Structure 1
Amino acid sequence: MAQLSLISVNLATVALESLLFGIFLSLSTAFLYLHLSYAAGRDRSSRTASSIPSIQWARRNLSLMFIGAVCITFTITAHWILTVVRLFDAFVHFEGGAAPTLYYSDLAQTTEVVKTAFVIATLVIADILFTYRLWVVWGYNHYIAVLPLCSVAGLFVAGVGIIHELAHMAEGRTVFISQANEWISAAYSFTFITNVYCSALIASKVWRASHRSEKAYGGGSLMRVFSTIIESAFIYMTYTVFFFIAYQADSNLQYTCIDTLCPISGIAFMLINVRVGLGWAEHAHVQPPRPMRPAFPMRPVAVDITRIVQKEDDMGRPVAVKADFESEV
């Protein structure tokens, strides 16, 4: 099979990454809006005179998932900006735009090294948050999170190795024949293990919870969450497999794959967050019935009292998980 030219794959990268970045930015904006709107509603309903507003706001809003979403939005945006900057450098600034192939083939360029660092940072943050979500869903079970934490640490070490090799790569060498080859293979393996492990265990937990609660509470909402988890995992893992095949085949197509893997990981992460945020919005629109003022004295009647047991979801937000009913006369 004929090798694709560096100019072709980098031009395709700019177009495809811009499209994926737009999708990611829409999802990210939707999640941040839903999160802040939900938190603002809770602040209005539970504000007390003794609370310090700034501390109260931080406690309610700065959950790990929210901070992680902001960090991922920053790294993916910075990566896309550098992709556009390198396009102008190759065709306008470097040698007057006369040698774009020479520019793109020099992987030790500062912009390329920094752009790769943003890819690694995005993957590490996404895997940490995925591990955190697994830990919460499994009832804060520390043992269940040991394996993904080890693989995240491995990804971080391999990522540092990739960045170091790129920064010191001699002119004319490529990622296929340099020592970066081993680091890239290791990084791929670690992030793949994390996502397969976390996706399988989270999906199994949600599936069992859905079946247990289906008769009593209805399992439709949980099944929608289950479907979102499976879809997100499928998108990310399919794309990582596609990248690894292109890389092992020594195809320049891997440059497009690795650059677009950044927004793909963000999209997979934000799909779940937006699903949770839409769940908050659905519950927020359920208003309690307005009490009616009786027109005449009422006789004693039986009253149903509902007691809601609150727990936290993986976003750090309280959710109702069980209701008990009692009666008194």
Structure 2
Amino acid sequence: MSDINITSLAAGLPSLILESCLYGIALILFSSTIYFRATRRTLASCRQTVKHHFISPVFIGATVLFLAATAHWIVDIYLTFLLFSKFNGPISKQALYASPTHGADIVEAASVFVAILVGDSLMIHRLWVVWGRNLRVLMFPICGLSGVLVMLIGVSYLFSQSKANSTFLDNAELKPWVATGFVLSLLTSVYCTGFIAYRILKFNVRSTTNSGLTFFLAILVESVALQTFWLIFTSTTNLASSSVEFLTLDTFPVILCISNLLIHARVGLGWSSEPTGLHAAKREYQGAV
């Protein structure tokens, strides 16, 4: 299309509203995580201080996810106000690329890629802890994560060599790289979610006080199922070039942030229901998060 009608820009309003609601949830979860870390007692099995709780790699990763979601949300608000205040009719592509939205699109895409990379890394770490530091189960997800990293490098290089009047989503050269990255991340997420859920189900011994709903929610949180589900949704819309793609991509960073912060909130609230066979892994993961 040579022109972009203002009505198509209005289609981004639902995604901004949904992203804002989800960001509010992420903000509450992140604030709760900080409170839990500042007030939680030191674990008896490993002498930890409050400083250790805030410099652990898992918490740093969750913080990076929250910052990526924040940056994406701010850019979305900026783009919405800018486009509706600056353009009053059909928008030519040349005018759009020459506008300040071009740089904002780069920041928006970068926040999505950072969220994918950090989200996959935290999921692999979770798999490593639940499986008792068994390196054999990490071979496939590490290969997938390496592929995603190569994709990011390739996209960055190709974009640096491309003309100034192209964006990530509009550049035909980048689409195979982006699609490959989504597929690799999807395979990694499905693998990790399946193995984590299997490990918990295999060794779980439910007490009479735990309801079926509580156990089901515990499995969903521990296996980061929300992240995997939304990645499947996003990958499908991206590969199909669906009009729903703007909705899934805009909410992707904040969904990954919520999915990982739910684990921190679960540990902080103390309603974790791991079985006896996983008590050691639970204590170790609580120390990590």
Same fold (TM over 0.5): yes
The equivalent residue for 2:77 is 84
- Per-residue deviation, 1:255: 2.1
The equivalent residue for 1:187 is 181
Could you say if the C-alpha distance between residues 174 and 146 of structure 1 is closer, same or farther in structure 2, counting changes exceeding 3 Å? closer
- Per-residue deviation, 1:82: 1.1
Is the counterpart of residue 316 in structure 1 residue 287 in structure 2? yes
Which residue identity is paired with 1:119? V
The equivalent residue for 2:56 is 63
Is the counterpart of residue 143 in structure 1 residue 136 in structure 2? yes
Which residue identity is paired with 1:181? K
Deviates more, 1:160-169 or 1:70-79: 160-169
Is the counterpart of residue 42 in structure 1 residue 42 in structure 2? yes
Q: Which has the higher strand share?
A: 1
The equivalent residue for 1:258 is 249
Q: Which has the higher helix share?
A: 2
Q: How far apart, CA to CA, are the structure 2 residues paired with 1:206 and 1:222?
A: 14
Is the counterpart of residue 273 in structure 1 residue 264 in structure 2? yes
TM norm structure 2: 0.79
Q: How far apart, CA to CA, are the structure 2 residues paired with 1:262 and 1:33?
A: 23
The C-alpha deviation readout for 1:215-271, integer Å capped at 9, x for no partner, is: xx7794999466334266443333333323333333333122211111111122222
Q: How far apart, CA to CA, are the structure 2 residues paired with 1:85 and 1:257?
A: 19
Judge conservation of contact 1:10–1:256 (CA < 8 Å) in 2: yes
Which residue identity is paired with 1:227? L
Which residue identity is paired with 1:123? I
Could you say if the C-alpha distance between residues 161 and 255 of structure 1 is closer, same or farther in structure 2, counting changes exceeding 3 Å? farther
Residue 131 of structure 1 aligns to a residue in which SS?
A: helix
TM norm structure 1: 0.70
The equivalent residue for 1:98 is 88
The equivalent residue for 1:201 is 195
Deviates more, 1:29-38 or 1:133-142: 29-38
Unaligned runs of 5+ in 2: 274-278
The equivalent residue for 1:243 is 234
The C-alpha deviation readout for 1:76-112, integer Å capped at 9, x for no partner, is: 11111111112222223xxx43357447964981110
The equivalent residue for 1:227 is 217
Aligned residues: 273
The equivalent residue for 2:116 is 123
Could you say if the C-alpha distance between residues 242 and 169 of structure 1 is closer, same or farther in structure 2, counting changes exceeding 3 Å? farther
Could you say if the C-alpha distance between residues 218 and 36 of structure 1 is closer, same or farther in structure 2, counting changes exceeding 3 Å? farther
Specify which of 135, 150, 153 is matched with residue 157 of structure 1. Answer: 150
Which residue identity is paired with 1:97? F
Question: Larger relative contact order (C-alpha < 8 A, sep ≥ 6)?
Answer: 2
Q: Greater Rg, structure 1 or structure 2? A: 1
- Per-residue deviation, 1:198: 0.9
Identical residues among aligned pairs (%): 26
What value does the CA root-mean-square deviation take over the aligned residues?
3.6
The equivalent residue for 2:29 is 27
- Per-residue deviation, 1:310: 6.5
Q: How far apart, CA to CA, are the structure 1 residues paired with 2:76 and 2:226?
A: 22
Q: How far apart, CA to CA, are the structure 2 residues paired with 1:264 and 1:60?
A: 23
Could you say if the C-alpha distance between residues 152 and 281 of structure 1 is closer, same or farther in structure 2, counting changes exceeding 3 Å? closer
Could you say if the C-alpha distance between residues 13 and 310 of structure 1 is closer, same or farther in structure 2, counting changes exceeding 3 Å? closer
Could you say if the C-alpha distance between residues 272 and 225 of structure 1 is closer, same or farther in structure 2, counting changes exceeding 3 Å? farther
Could you say if the C-alpha distance between residues 174 and 207 of structure 1 is closer, same or farther in structure 2, counting changes exceeding 3 Å? closer
Unaligned runs of 5+ in 1: 49-54, 283-308, 319-329
Could you say if the C-alpha distance between residues 21 and 250 of structure 1 is closer, same or farther in structure 2, counting changes exceeding 3 Å? same
Could you say if the C-alpha distance between residues 143 and 203 of structure 1 is closer, same or farther in structure 2, counting changes exceeding 3 Å? same
